[in-house]
Structure 1
Amino acid sequence: MKFGFWLPIFGGWLRNVEDEQMPPTFEYAKKVIQQAEQLGFDTTLIAELFLNDIKGPKEDTLEAWSTAAALAAVTEKIEIMTAIRPGFHNPAIAAKATANIDHISNGRFTLNVVSAWWEEEARQYGGIFTEHDERYERTKEFIDVLKGLWTEDSFSYEGKYYQLKETNLYPKPVQRPNPILYAGGESPKGKEVISTHCDAYVMHGGTVEEVAAKINDMKEKRGETSNPPFQSFGMAAYVICRDTEEEAQAELARITAVKESDAYAGFKDFTSKSQLEQQIQLQDYSVSNRGLRPNLVGTPDQIATRIKEFENAGVDLLLLQFSPQLEEMERFANKVMPLVNPRAKELAQS
């Protein structure tokens, strides 16, 4: 199992807790990622939102791509997976920027392709936000352009959304043929595009049964003749690790006591503009990315057992959230990771 974490660019992950002691600053982000490298984490995921979806649209949040480039220069081993939403980017410029950051990181920069869901954010920032399936059609062309520019000496393209003629991109990315393209989606159209155009599949938090079904479904859609196998199946999850189950459940109750606030401004768009396989309630939404559904809540032994169940179901990458980040990330690395991967810490420090 590989362990990743969401970079805390929003000031936390809890919509009911005002101050999580996780300031949305570059200095804090740098401290987190450098500590994560020492602790043995493999990946960080940097979400791309121009408004703060967790604490409210008027609160501070870091911009993903400039943050990724800066962090690439001050880290050595960790994969930096950064979200990209086609409706906010020119694909040729995005391909160039990706190649550049891939060189800064020496081949550690990857993308999480997101077709977007927050219509109000798109309105404020001039993003292209169309009907659901059309957003995925745009995504398909966007990926065609990225891969074409990364692999061909001179690339031309004539699509519905993008047109290029004899476009040159040098230097090419360090990773060949391309930096890994992760993506997550639950709609039929989303799964169609991801299974044919992306390299790895990431999921919101789910139960073991839900996740196993999704993985089997995506493997079937991927096929074995026209495409290579998916490189990875990742899942988001929020962790509450305590010495006793009672302490863990008390923390769970504290963070899910829903308090209506600006932190829930995106709830309607998230549930109405996406096509979700499981209905979610405000309590689920109180923690980012349905992170409580995997139930990584309890003692180190209980959490490790649960993680192994997900591993047996086909998950090989966890994208975890913690609050407060530094303290809980260290607790998890010291108490849970050795139970799942006995040599993880030893390998990280070698």
Structure 2
Amino acid sequence: MRFGYWMPVFGGWLRNVPDEGMEASWAYTKRLAQRSEQIGYSLSLIAELNMNDIKGPGAPTLDAWSTAAALAAVTEELELMVAVRPNFHHPALFAKAAANIDQIAGGRLALNVVSSWWADEAKRYGLQFDQHDDRYARTGEWLKMVEGLWSEAEFDFQGRYYSAERAICSPKPVKHPTIYAGGESEAAKTMIANQCDAYVMHGDPADAIRPKIANMAERREAAGKPPMQYGMAAYAIVRDSEAEAKRELARITEVKELPAGYDNFDQWLSGTQLEREMKIQEYAVSNRGLRPNLVGTPEQLRERIEEYEDAGLDLLLLQMSPQEEEMERFAAQVIKAPVTA
């Protein structure tokens, strides 16, 4: 299993806890990235939103791509999995900028292609916002443009959304960045199976993840493509006793009143086609992060992680709070824990 983590570009992950002790700042981000390389994390996911989905739209939010370029220059091994939303980036110009960041990183850039869900954000910035299946049609065409510019000396393209005539991207990426994407609709799965390298999922129990991986593997084989990688979001709480872990879980999930970001959560629910019913209690942690139940003692977490490995999962994308302190604990007690006979 590879262990990755969400970079806290929003200043935290808990919608019911206003101050988590990790500001949205370059200083915190740089320190976290450099330390994470030393303690066993192989990847960081850098989310892309112009407004703050966790703490409320007006709260500080770091820009994903300038942050990624800076981190590329101050890290050595960390894979930088940066979210990109096709309706916010022209593919030809994006391909050029991303290739340059990959050059800085020495081949460590990866994309997390996200077909946007936040209509209000797009409206505020004067950008196109497509309906559900159209978003994936745009994403598919956008990826063709990016891939073409990364692979051909001069690239011509004429599509429904984009066009290019003898467009040039030089220098090209050091190596082809891994393309991650997620989605649970038929349109999303079809696009991902045909055009991406890895499938990332919201959190769910291992018995729910197993058939999702099997289904995508079948789609991938039918498309004549090589096997995919599989990742999942999860929120982790590790403590010396199960009682301690459950007390922390109770603290972060208690809802006394709906916070500032609730309207965004409600909009997201109305704009997606999820396979499983969402519960209001899950508002506390994004991306269904509590469903994997990575809450308990080191031994309990290792057992659950083994179940996910058995289901075919390759990568855990972890959120914790406060991120720096909890990542240290998780690394010492779960990632690097000695194996007993």
Aligned residue number for residue 267 of structure 2: 269
Give, in angstroms, the shift of residue 263 of structure 1: 2.3
Q: 1:205 to 1:225 in 2, by over 3 A?
A: closer
What does residue range 208-287 of structure 1 map to in structure 2 within 5 Å? Answer: 208-223=206-221, 226-230=224-228, 232-258=229-255, 259-287=257-285
TM-score by length of 1: 0.95
Instruction: Count how many residue pairs are aligned between Structure 1 and Structure 2.
Output: 339
- Pick from 198, 201, 223: which aligns with 1:200? 198
Q: Distance in 2 between matches of 1:292 and 1:109?
A: 28
CA distance in 2, matches of 1:140, 1:70: 28
Equivalence for 1:6? 6
1:306-317 counterparts in 2 under 5 A? Answer: 306-317=304-315
Letter in 2 for 1:157: F
Counterpart of 2:336 in 1: which secondary structure?
helix
Partner of 1:168: 168
Separation in 2 of the partners of 1:126 and 1:91?
Answer: 18
Aligned letter for 1:149? L
Deviation of 1:224 after TM superposition, in Å, equals 5.4
1:281 Cα deviation from its structure 2 partner: 1.6
Contact 2:10-2:60 within 8 A present in 1 as well: yes
CA RMSD of aligned residues (A): 1.2
Q: Structure 1 vs Structure 2: percent identity of aligned residues?
A: 55
* CA distance in structure 2 between the aligned counterparts of 1:93 and 1:64, rounded to whole angstroms: 16
CA drift of 1:102 comes to: 0.3
Work out whether residues 101 and 109 of structure 1, in 8 Å CA contact, stay in contact via their aligned partners in 2.
Answer: yes
Residue pair 1:215, 1:314 contacting (<8 A) in 2 also: yes
Q: Is the 8 A contact 2:24 2:62 kept in 1?
A: yes
Separation of aligned partners in 2, 1:102 and 1:201: 21
- Where does structure 2 lack aligned partners over 5 or more consecutive residues? none
**Match of 1:239, SS?**
strand
In 2: Cα distance, 1:263 partner to 1:247 partner: 28
2:40–2:336 CA contact under 8 A, matched in 1: no
Q: Quick one: distance in 2 between partners of 1:127 and 1:108?
A: 30
The 1-side partners of 2:286 and 2:22 are apart by: 15
Between the aligned partners of 1:193 and 1:285, the Cα distance in structure 2 is 28
Deviation digits for residues 14-50 of structure 1 (CA, Å, limit 9, x no counterpart): 0000100010001001111111011010000000011
| 1:150 alignment partner in structure 2 | 150
Equivalent residue letter for 2:270: S
The residue number in structure 1 matching 2:17 is: 17
How far apart, CA to CA, are the structure 1 residues paired with 2:123 and 2:277?
26
Alpha-carbon distance in 2 for matches of 1:17, 1:308: 31
* Structure 1: unaligned runs, 5 residues or longer: 343-350
- Partner residue, 2:64: 64
Contact between 2:9 and 2:61, CA under 8 Å: does it hold in 1? Answer: yes
Q: Structure 1 residue 220: deviation in Å?
A: 0.9
Q: Deviation at 1:338?
A: 2.4
Instruction: Pick the aligned partner of 1:295 from 293, 296, 313.
Output: 293
Structure 2 length-normalised TM: 0.97
Amino acid at match of 1:79: E
Q: CA–CA distance in 2 between the matches of 1:213 and 1:285?
A: 25
1:120 corresponds in structure 2 to 120
Question: 1:301 and 1:224 mapped to 2: Cα distance?
Answer: 39
Equivalent pair of 1:53/1:265 in contact (CA under 8 Å): no
8 Å Cα contact 1:88/1:126 also seen in 2: no
Give me the whole-angstrom Cα distance separating, in 2, the residues matched to 1:12 and 1:261: 14
Asked if the contact 1:297/1:303 (under 8 Å) is kept, the reply is yes
